[in-house]
Structure formats: C-alpha cells, structure tokens
Chains A and B, each alone.
Chain A
Amino acid sequence: MRPIERDLLRFKEIVRGEVKKKAREFLTREELFGQVEGRLVSIPLPQLELPKIVYGEPLGEDLGLGGPGTDSLGPAGHVPVAELELEEFLDLVGEALRLPRLRPKGEGEVTEEAFRYTTIARKGPRGLRHVRRTLKESLKRALITGEYRSEEPLLVPEREDLRYKAPRSKPRPHAQAVVLFALDVSGSMREEELRLVKTLSFWITLWIKRHFPRLERRYLLHDAEAWEVTEEEFFRAREGGGTRLSSALLLAEEILKRYPESFYNRYLYHFSDGENWQGDTPVALEALRRLLPTLALYGYAQVQGPYGQGRFLEDLREALGKEEGLAATEVKGKEDLPLALRRLLGG
C-alpha cells in the first residue's frame, strides 16, 4: 500500500470513530435529515482539527487591498467536514446505538425476474433496434459484396442487417418491505412531541431501507377516524378531536391488503400519547391480535403529551406483551430517543 493510502485509511478510521462517538448527537441533528436521501452525508467534525494558538478573529477586514484569505496564509477558520457514504454512516450509527439487524421474515424474500437487455437478437420491436450493431452488419455486408465505396460511405441497412437489443432474464432474490406510519393527532400532540415522532420515523425509515432497499412508505393520521395522507402532511402540526386508536389499526389493515405478507415485510408504526377512548381499547387490541402475526413488527411509541400519559401502553403490554413482533416503548424527551429507536426496531 502506498503511504498516502495508509494515511487516508487512518483518517477514515478516525472519522468513523468520531461518528460512532457522536451517534446519539446525530440522532437529533435535523440538518442531516435533508441530505440523507442522497448518497453522501457531510459531517462536521471540529474535533478533528489540531488546535493551534491562533488569533480569535479574522485579521482586520481591509479596504480591498486584499489580504490572505481563508485558504492561504494565516489562521484559517474552517471546520473540517468529512463525507461518508450514507450506508456506511448508517452502519456506524447503527452499530453505536446497537440497532438490530432486520431479517426478511419468512416468505418476505421475493425472487423476481430482473430483465436486462444484454443480448442481441435478429428480431424485435423497433424501439429496441440496436443502431450500432445494425450498421456494423450493414457495413460487413457492403464490404463483402463490394458495394462499399470509401469516397461515398453511405450505408443502407437491409432487413437481414437489423439487430435488436434482447432481454435476458435473470432471477434475483430481493426482499422488499412496506412501512406504514400512523400518527394520533388528537388534541394533545404538539410541536415538541411531533419533533420526536419525526426524528423516530426518519431513522426508522432509513434503517429499514438499509435492509430492504425496495421500501414503500404509507402515512396515515387519526383522531376518532383515520385517513391516509402524504409524507409532508404527516408532519404538519394540527389538532383534532377525540381518540380512537382502533381507527388507525383498521385502516392500516385495509391498506396493508395491497401488500401481501408473502411478498412484503410489513412494518407498522403507531405514535400516540396513549389516551384512548374508554370503549375503544378492546377493539384496538382485537384488531392487533389479527394483525400482529402478519407483520414483521408492530411498533408502538407512546409520546408523553403536555397533559401526562395515557394508559394504552400498559393495556397493550398486559394484553399482548408476550407476542412476538410487538415493539412498544415510551418517549418522554430527546434523551429517550436512542433506546426508543432500538426498541422500535425490535432490539
């Protein structure tokens, strides 16, 4: 290995170490949320700077005489930034927070036919005509028959010259998943709780996607009734009426019919302050009994609202605590996020 590669590896190793050390901090850094759909994540790492005795302020702004800028002489004031591939970044954070690896459940592994146009055929649709190969054949024929004249190199492909791109099918195993987020918007959820929900659902999505690149997402809101919304609407603060947790579960059941469990790893996440209408809890639990065996996970996060805590979490644990695939947790504030995230992912 060239020495510079060794130095580069060591640098990357240090960056990884820093990311792991700061994993908890990254959880709540909303500026990360924007870039994470991309491939690279930029991470500010001021602690990677070797400190020096330098001036505290940029040395006098002058009158256009021009002085050393930030990248030449003088104390430069930039914060070092490291870039990491999203997948690597997620793995590091996942490792630091001990997030569980997700496994395709049962038949969730799908073998799908992936068509790739890798061969050439003599017949095919117009749209798949392979121009270069066709002209090549045409040229060959013209050369053989002596029709080709270099001073006027015009090629007119004939029927026998036509070549087409042809598919060759290759079965590839591919696990896919669907994640459905349900949010209780009855009176008691406010900005602060919503932010916790947003953070959790953001990381849950990323982590599931890390394991099932083919991930579909659905969002629904509910108070006494449930309705489906877009991702954007999901995170908009609003207030509603009373609460029927069952409404969300029943709508989820409906939506999930489009994602048969034999083809999808189905995840359902439900955020609520746990204050349910008295008569509704048995209905909700009944719906869950039906749903649970078909899900990879049912994650229930009870967020503490301004008026204290409801009791659905207790009821849920009492009734279904022993069932597999139930991941229930409570989130009172930012400091609970790492543990809540781990629990919600089945850890």
Chain B
Amino acid sequence: MRKELRRWAEILRERALAQGLSFPPVLFEEVGPEEMAMLAAYGGFPRRYPHWRFGSEYLRYRETYRYGLGRVYELVANTHPVHAYLLKGNTLLAQKLVMAHVYAHADFFQNNLAFKPIPKDMEAEMAHHAAFVERAMERYGARSVEEFLDLALSLENLIDPHALYIQRRAEENTEERPPDRLRVRPYLDPYVNPPPEPPREAEEGANPTPLPPRPTRDILGFLARHAPLAPWQKGILEIIREESLYYVPQAATKILNEGWATFWHTRLLLPLLSPEEALEFAELQAGLLAPHGFNPYRLGYLLLREVEERWDKGRFGPEYEALPLGERLAYERPTGLGLKQLFQVRTVHTDLSFLDTFLTPEFALRQRLLSPEDLPRFAEAKKALLFRLTNGGYPIVELVDANHGNRGELLLEHAYEGVELDLKKTQAVLENLHRLWGRPVHLKTVVGGKETLLSAGS
C-alpha cells in the first residue's frame, strides 16, 4: 500500500479510537477492478467453493464497472483482523473516506449484538468449505456435486436465523446429540458421528417422540442430520447452512451498519478536509446519499442523525411523548446525550428494531419521506416497510413433522401473514426437497385466501 495511504489509515484510526469507536486491527489492501469484482462475487472473501453463480455475479460486477455503470469502492469482511479492500485508482480523498467508513464497519461488527455469535475466522472456514467441495468434486464428479449444490442452494433461506443465538438446555441436547459424540466442524459431523436415519414407514406408535420434537425453522440443519444422503451431501448442506447463517446479521443490519459507517466517515473526515477536497467530498457524499430508490446509506444516516439530535435536545421521555405532534418539533431540553445514545443504538439494534423504535411521523415529515396529506397512512406504510425487513424479506417456513401421516413424509408450514408465496418457485423448491428427502413433501400455506397444501412427490 502506498505510504501516503498508510499514513492516513493511521491518522483516521487514531481519530476513530479517540472518539470512542473500538475495533480489531484493520488490514487495508488496494485491489484492481477485476479482483474487486471477484471479491464482491465471493461475498467479501478471496476463496469460495466452486459454483457457477459466483461466475455469473463476477461477470455482472465486471461488466458494470467496464461500462461505467457503477463501481464497488470498498469491501469489508467481518473477520479478525478485519480485511478491507480499496479500489485501486481512486483518488486519495475517496480512499480516506472509505477507510474512515471501514473503521466504523469494523466497530459495528465488533460491538453490535447481532454479530456476537458469528465466527471471526470465516476466511479460514470459507477456504475449508471450498476444499471440501473441491474434494467431493474430484471423487464424485464435478457435475453431480454441482447438481447437488444447485439443489442445496435453493434451500439456503430455509434456516433458523436465530439458530446461533439459541442456547438449548443440556438435556434437550442429549436427545438429538448424545454426549458421546465428538465435537468437529459441522460439515464433517456426518463422517465422524453418523446419525441414525429416521424410520421410513414407521409402525404405528413405533416412534413415540415426534421428529422434530417441536416445529423448527432450521430445515437445512434437520436435513443435514436426518435426510437419507451420502456423508458428502450432508456435509454440503451443513456448509450452505453455515454460510447462510454467517450472512444473516449482515443482511439484518444493512441500514444501521451503512448509516453508522456514513455517520462516522463524515464526522471523522469533515474537520480534516482542505478547501480543494471539500468539493470532491460533497460530490462523493451526494452520490452516496442520493434519494433515488431505496438507499440504506441514506435512510440509516438520516435516522442516526435524527436520533443524535433528539437526544442532544432532550426530545425523549414521557414528557416529550405526551406532547402533540406540532409541539414536539419545537421542544428543547438540552442534555447532550446524543452520541451516547448513538453508541447504545449501534450496540443493541437491528434494522427492524431500529426503524420500529425511531422511525417516527416527525422524522418522515421532516425528511419529506411523507407528505402531510399522507400522514394518516404513516402507520400502514411503516408496517409494510418493517414487514419487508422481517426475516430478510423471506417467508417464514417451519418444518412441522418429518413423519407426516406416519408415512415418513415431510410437512412444512408457511406462517401466512397476508402475502402469498410465488407458487411456481415454491413448487420447484418442493420438488428439490422431495429429491433430497426421497419421500413426498408437503407445504401448508394460503392460496387465494384458502388454506392449501402444496405437495411434491405424492
């Protein structure tokens, strides 16, 4: 890395630490557009398992850059130390902005509670996964492994996003994971601790404890343990599950995390700008915060600024809440608690709870997200927005019974909330599930207002 950049990285790091951010060491690396396209396609990591969809993504990023339609300025991986990539050829100011931005991301990864159970050595994990899949391809044929990956990837959202946060009581664990099992990486588990397969056509009453013991959203995990598959196939299911879980907190905090990083690069950099740089900074910032479409940077940044201002001016608490809308905008009771509140928000919230708590009609009016005539529909609009953020925008599906009708069939249930499923895609997924499970598969959902059972294989 250039000397000048290294000097600035150090300056910005010290300023960030002095203002209360805390983060592990950050390694910056400058990369060219092709390598950046590769890293972006690989979700921020230099090595992933072989799959064509990475190639497709790579092509998309590469062409987007080539035709000047957009560029990836920066990529950060949540690892220890944090790996951050800067696009070679950007101006010094752009790189400074990105570095300040990255320090805030690193702080967010380290301190936001949603990231607590996320492994910090994911770079190594991803490489292990790649090696595992490559070996499987050598042994069982690239095509058959690829086909299985296609199948497994169509199930990648059938996970329990809270799986990493749940601490089961010991005796609950014993049923599915006897204590004599060896602890290994999950995708190696089927080799080291092969599980018993479930009864195919069970006798009446032969299986007194239902499987799964209670409805579960961890469908990938369940299949990895119980589907009649070869160990390498179970290993792949575990890999897909683990990587999916890894990206859950990132998706769930996109608005907050980008808002936080934007807030901090602005705060750290503004006082350091030379007059010549000020104009370029304003341009970069305007591009980043452009109001067209949905822009997580913009929404997150504006809302964090709102929180800072409200807490600085004491616009919170029962006295404030009791005021009518018109008077709230003028209320002032200076406390200077803004920054403290921001750190609190950064620690405890995800996008869902962040917007639920702080997205107020006052804010919507002030930022012109809403016209005064539309005010009565604010609650409805907010609800719609929160719904989209729930479960990453995916429908919530549970596995209810793996021995449905006592015939070893799978019964899934969609928690219907008023929005119907895409039937064509859902059917295709059910066919995939059927191929994995080997027995018929059913999904209970609502179609055309009526409860419906979608099936595959029966």
Contact = CB atoms under 8 A, between A and B. Distances in A.
B122 interface: no
Tell me if B's interface is mostly helix, strand, loop or mixed: helix
B318 interface: no
Contacts of A69: 293-294
A65 B369 contact: yes
A53 B397 contact: yes
Interface string B371-385: 000100110111011
B86 to A, nearest CB: 19
A3 B414 CA distance: 38
Given A53-B426, A83-B63, 7 more contacts: A52-B155, A52-B425, A56-B421, A65-B364, A65-B369, A75-B422, A80-B56
Interface in A78-108: 80, 83
A91 to B, nearest CB: 20
A60 interface: yes
Interface in A49-78: 50-57, 59-69, 72-75
Contact of B388 (A2, A4, A67): A67
B420 interface: yes
B257 to A, nearest CB: 12
A121 interface: no
Contact of A63 (B58, B294, B296, B381): B381
Contact of B294 (A7, A57, A67): A67
Interface stretch (A8-16, A250-258, A278-286): A8-16
10 contacts: A2-B38, A4-B38, A10-B55, A10-B146, A51-B154, A53-B421, A55-B394, A56-B423, A59-B387, A63-B377
B455 interface: no
B58 A8 contact: yes
A126 interface: no
B429 A51 contact: yes
Interface residues of B, number: 65
A290 interface: no
Interface string B148-181: 0010011111100000000000000000000000
Given A3-B47, A3-B50, A68-B393, A54 B55 contact: no
Contacts of B384: 59-62, 65, 67
Given A11-B56, A55-B421, A64 B394 contact: no
Contacts of A60: 384, 387-388, 419
Contacts of A3: 47-48, 50, 130
A14 B55 CA distance: 11
Contacts of B432: 51
B222 interface: no
A29 interface: no
A56 B420 contact: yes
Tell me if A's interface is mostly helix, strand, loop or mixed: loop
Contacts of B154: 50-52
Given A11-B56, A68-B389, A55 B51 contact: no
A52 B50 contact: no
Contacts, number: 157
Find the residue from A6, A59, A69 having the highest chain B CB count within 10 A. Answer: A59
Contacts of B426: 51, 53-54
B102 interface: no
Nearest to A12: B55
B273 to A, nearest CB: 29
Nearest to B378: A63
Nearest to A49: B425
B374 A63 contact: yes
B185 interface: no
Interface string B442-456: 010000000000000
Interface string B54-90: 1110110001000000000000000000000000000
A123 to B, nearest CB: 43
B268 interface: no
A9 B55 contact: yes
A6 B41 CA distance: 13
Find the residue from B47, B369, B385 having the highest chain A CB count within 10 A. Answer: B385
Contacts of A8: 55-56, 58-59
Interface in B354-400: 359, 364, 369-370, 374, 377-378, 380-382, 384-385, 387-389, 392-395, 397
A65 B55 contact: no
Contacts of B393: 55, 59, 68, 73-75
A59 B55 CA distance: 29
Contacts of B381: 62-65
Contact of A53 (B157, B295, B299): B157
A61 B383 CA distance: 11
A6 B50 CA distance: 8
Interface string B390-434: 001111010000000000000000100001111111101100100
A11 B388 contact: no
Contacts of B388: 59-60, 67-68, 73-74
A59 B420 CA distance: 10
A75 B41 CA distance: 18
B419 A11 contact: no
A52 B428 CA distance: 8
B229 interface: no
Interface in A1-46: 2-4, 6-12, 14
A75 B55 contact: no
A59 B417 CA distance: 11
A54 B41 CA distance: 22
List 8 tightest A-B contacts by C-beta distance, closest first: A74-B393, A7-B55, A11-B55, A60-B384, A51-B428, A8-B55, A56-B422, A63-B381
Contacts of A52: 154-157, 394, 425, 429
Contact of B295 (A6, A66, A83): A66
